[in-house]
């Protein structure tokens, strides 16, 4: 089966190169049969890569340990779900998985937009060049079908125990779907510049794919946060890990792009800027992939150092040269005659929002690779930790939260004084009330000014959102005679993009509210024997017992802990544990969490001294964490609302969608 997998990759390389070349040559020389052959070859490429991907899945499920990749990332004791997820658990397989998803995305995008006869040939060339690039990687420096010379091992080494977690089984595929989805808008952006069809068509085609990519990137990042919180056992959910940063970069630029295209659609502005953003999103995808697979950065789930780096830098450089070269060539056509009329305009607030988002992306990028930069120029790896990231990202995040609240309140073109007063009165009162309430509840004792400002801005944005829903619902009630609930549902149904966006903003507000809890975090390390208690916050933690057990592939030590209130009343029984995987000789920490609306009590089993009978525990009180997860749920709900098909708009656009 490994021969079939490798052979189909070779054929896919040839077919993808033919597809891209035939599409462009056939279109430019008016040879429709050649152009059509190139188009069909793109689907043949998808079929070939799919065969190769299924060959890899078969090798894992058949436990064919003659294949090095299968032997390195699976063993006979792993559950089937983790055996299948081992497909993308290592570098070579993850690149094959990536190439497979890219080919599927490409086929779907080309089929969906097949009537765009001026754009599709160039888009096909861009998409197939990306597929061909990954075929080259898989055939040479990262061959997942390479076999052992001589007799094969009888069993595999197994996957990293930290990755044997339900969140990690689906977190990488979600991120990959987000990463790869950004190739589609880039392909249509380049196609628009290459063909000279620079109206809003490419934006309209790209918007849904961008939303899809943004949805999966966001969902993947949230799953990664959940995994870090529940599996890594350090008490947090985001530590500016290089691999997660790599996913955060395109999410930031993609967010800027989704805001910016509204200005071009509404006012015909920002044509150049939108092209810059879509190129940046694609570049961040490739750059993030390069960083996590070349060994340039170190992370708990980065891949080992490999020789794929030069391939990525060459392809990325070529892509940037081509795309920015086309931008220079089309610079006059990309200029907009309409300029920003006032800083008190929605256009300017969106532009400011874009600058901050892109600035944050560049800051995260430079800070992430700073150890490598310092090593190259100073001969010393200088590590940049979470305090440095937070020092800059917290104020930038607060400015962004402020703009989230004020953007919808400012009129297009130029806002008058009366308009600003009318729009800002209630949101400003909401900010003052929320900030004052947080001070009255003691928020200044440990959190400082940043936390108070955060709470006040959460009040500002929430009041803005309520005001927008309230006014929209009242207008609809007056115009249609509907009741409040029907008017609200009708409002969201007719303007999914706008009101779904407000739901997303509300999710962001809740996440900021939860992040503010970090300022009030408490933690302590204790060593106690059976029956003893240790205090933290408003809790007493009592060690009751230690249980020792084992499964087919690991040994387990579990502490039985009672959580009491200050009066000694039992609140919960928790079971933090240490698991030791015999195959990999690697321990994992299984935390136990008592979650609540106000705070989480986070219990980490650090160790047990058999000679004294003491158990070592790390106790952490994490305030407001649950609001991060509730906000994430609203974020996903808003994404679904925005992406939900709009029958009325589809019907309207259908008459003008062809080139």
Categorize the per-residue pLDDT at 241 as very low, low, confident or very high, splitting at 50, 70 and 90.
confident
Summary mean pLDDT of the chain:
89
CB atoms within 10 A of CB 196: 10
Give the per-residue pLDDT at 574.
95
Least confidently predicted of 294-303, 323-332, 346-355, 364-373: 294-303
pLDDT for the residue 303: 57
Contact 81, 61 (CB under 8 A): no
Q: Do residues 553 and 559 make contact, with C-beta atoms less than 8 angstroms apart? A: no
pLDDT of residue 445: 64
Tens-digit pLDDT profile for residues 168-199: 778 888 988 998 999 999 999 999 999 998 88
pLDDT value, residue 304:
56
Chain segment 481-534, per-residue pLDDT in tens: 889 999 998 888 888 889 999 999 999 999 999 999 888 899 999 999 999 999
pLDDT-derived band at 649 (thresholds 50, 70, 90) equals low
pTM of the model as a whole = 0.90
pLDDT, residue 656, reads 41
pLDDT value at position 548? 93
Per-residue pLDDT at 657: 40
Angstrom CA distances, 490 to 487, 496, 507, stand at 5, 10, 21
The predicted-structure confidence for 575-603, as pLDDT tens digits, reads as follows 999 998 887 788 888 999 999 999 999 99
SS3 call for 513: helix
Bin 442: left if φ > 0, else alpha if -120 < ψ < 50, else beta.
left
Q: At what angle do helices 183-195 and 271-293 cross, to 10 degrees?
A: 140
For residue 591, the SS3 value is: coil
Evaluate if residue 240 carries a pLDDT over 70: yes
CB burial of residue 657 (10 Å; 0-12, 13-18, 19+): middle
Dump pLDDT digits (tens) for 82-116. Answer: 888 888 888 899 999 999 999 999 999 999 988 88
493: left (phi over 0), alpha (psi -120 to 50) or beta: alpha
pLDDT at 658: 38
Which region holds residue 531: left if phi is over 0, alpha if psi is between -120 and 50, else beta? Answer: left
DSSP 3-state assignment of 270? coil
Question: Which tokens belong to 359?
Answer: 């600035």
pLDDT band (50, 70, 90) for residue 654 = very low
Fill in the DSSP letter of residue 141. T
Q: What is the dihedral of CA 57, 62, 68, 71, to 10 degrees?
A: 110
Give yes or no for a contact between 614 and 497, defined as CB atoms under 8 angstroms apart.
no
Section 157-170 average pLDDT:
78
Task: Classify each residue of 77-91 as buried b or exposed e, where b means 16 or more C-beta atoms within 10 Å of its C-beta.
Answer: bbeeebbbbbbbbbb
- Which of 227, 74, 78 is closest to 590 using CA atoms? 227
| Average pLDDT, integer, range 197-215 | 89
For residue 299, the Cα-to-chain-centroid distance in whole angstroms is 17
Indicate the pLDDT class of residue 297, thresholds 50, 70 and 90: low
Number of alpha helices (DSSP H) and beta strands (DSSP E) in the chain = 21, 10
CA 224 to chain centre: 9
**Residue-by-residue DSSP string for 436-456:** HHHHHTTTTTTSHHHHHHHHH
pLDDT digits (tens, 9 = 90+) for 108-148: 999 998 888 789 999 999 999 999 999 999 999 889 999 98
Give the residue among 375, 377, 189, 159 at the shortest CA–CA distance from 280. Answer: 189
pLDDT tens track for 31-70: 999 999 999 999 999 999 999 999 999 999 999 999 999 9
pLDDT of the residue at 115: 84
Single out the residue of 283, 454, 256 nearest to residue 359, CA to CA: 256
- Would you state the pLDDT for residue 501? 93
């Amino acid at each position: 089966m490994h021969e079939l997998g490798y052979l189909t990759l070779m054929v896919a390389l040839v077919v993808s190169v033919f597809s891209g070349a035939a599409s462009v040559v056939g279109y430019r020389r008016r040879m429709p049969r050649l152009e059509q052959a190139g188009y069909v070859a793109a689907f043949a490429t998808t079929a070939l890569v799919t065969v190769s991907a299924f060959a890899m899945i078969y090798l894992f499920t058949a436990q064919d340990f003659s294949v090095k990749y299968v032997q390195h990332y699976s063993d006979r004791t792993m559950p089937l779900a983790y055996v299948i997820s081992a497909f993308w658990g290592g570098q070579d397989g993850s690149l094959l998985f990536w190439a497979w998803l890219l080919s599927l995305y490409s086929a779907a995008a080309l089929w969906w937009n097949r009537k765009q006869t001026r754009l599709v040939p160039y888009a096909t060339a861009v998409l197939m060049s990306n597929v061909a690039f990954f075929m080259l990687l898989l055939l040479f420096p990262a061959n997942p079908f390479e076999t052992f010379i001589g007799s094969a091992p009888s069993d595999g080494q197994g996957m990293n125990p930290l990755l044997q977690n339900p969140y990690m089984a689906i977190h990488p595929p979600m991120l990959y779907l987000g990463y790869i989805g950004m190739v589609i808008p880039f392909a249509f952006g380049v196609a628009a510049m290459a063909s000279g069809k620079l109206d809003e068509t490419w934006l309209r085609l790209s918007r849904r794919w961008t939303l899809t990519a943004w949805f999966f990137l966001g969902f993947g990042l949230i799953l990664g946060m959940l995994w870090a919180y529940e599996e890594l056992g350090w008490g947090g959910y985001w530590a500016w890990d290089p691999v997660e940063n790599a996913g955060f970069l395109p999410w930031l630029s993609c967010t800027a792009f989704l805001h910016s295209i509204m200005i071009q659609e509404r006012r015909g502005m920002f044509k150049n800027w939108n092209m810059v953003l879509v190129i940046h999103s694609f570049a961040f995808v490739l750059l993030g992939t390069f960083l996590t697979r070349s060994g340039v950065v170190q992370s708990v789930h980065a891949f080992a150092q490999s020789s794929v780096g030069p391939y990525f830098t060459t392809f990325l450089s070529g892509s940037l040269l081509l795309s920015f070269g086309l931008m220079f060539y089309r610079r006059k056509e990309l200029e907009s005659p309409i300029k920003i009329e006032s800083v008190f305009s929605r256009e300017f607030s969106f532009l400011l929002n874009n600058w901050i988002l892109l600035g944050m992306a560049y800051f995260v990028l430079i800070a992430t690779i700073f150890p490598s930069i310092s090593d190259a120029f100073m001969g010393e790896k200088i590590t940049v930790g979470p305090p440095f990231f937070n020092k800059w990202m917290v104020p930038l995040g607060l400015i962004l939260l402020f703009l989230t609240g004020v953007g919808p309140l400012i009129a297009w073109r130029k806002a008058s004084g009366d308009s600003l007063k009318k729009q800002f009165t209630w949101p400003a009162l909401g900010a003052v009330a929320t900030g004052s309430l947080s001070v009255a509840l003691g928020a200044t004792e440990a959190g400082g000014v940043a936390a108070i400002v955060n709470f006040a801005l959460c009040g500002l944005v929430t009041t803005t959102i309520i005001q927008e829903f309230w006014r929209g619902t009242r207008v609809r009630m007056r115009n249609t005679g509907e009741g409040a609930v029907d008017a609200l549902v009708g409002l969201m149904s007719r303007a999914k993009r706008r009101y779904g966006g407000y739901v997303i903003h509300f999710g962001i507000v809740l996440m900021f509210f939860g992040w503010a809890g970090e300022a009030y975090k408490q933690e302590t390390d204790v060593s106690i024997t059976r029956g003893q208690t240790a205090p933290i916050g408003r809790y007493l933690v009592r060690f009751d017992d230690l249980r020792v057990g084992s499964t087919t592939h690991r040994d387990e030590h579990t502490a039985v802990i009672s959580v009491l209130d200050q009066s000694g009343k039992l609140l919960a029984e928790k079971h933090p544990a240490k698991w030791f995987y015999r195959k990999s000789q690697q321990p994992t920490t299984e935390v136990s969490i008592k979650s609540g609306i106000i705070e989480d009590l986070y219990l980490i089993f650090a160790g047990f001294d058999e000679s004294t009978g003491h158990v070592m525990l790390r106790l952490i009180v994490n305030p407001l964490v649950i609001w991060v997860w509730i906000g994430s749920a609203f974020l996903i709900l808003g994404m679904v609302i925005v992406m939900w098909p709009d029958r009325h708009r589809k019907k309207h656009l259908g008459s003008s969608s062809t080139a």
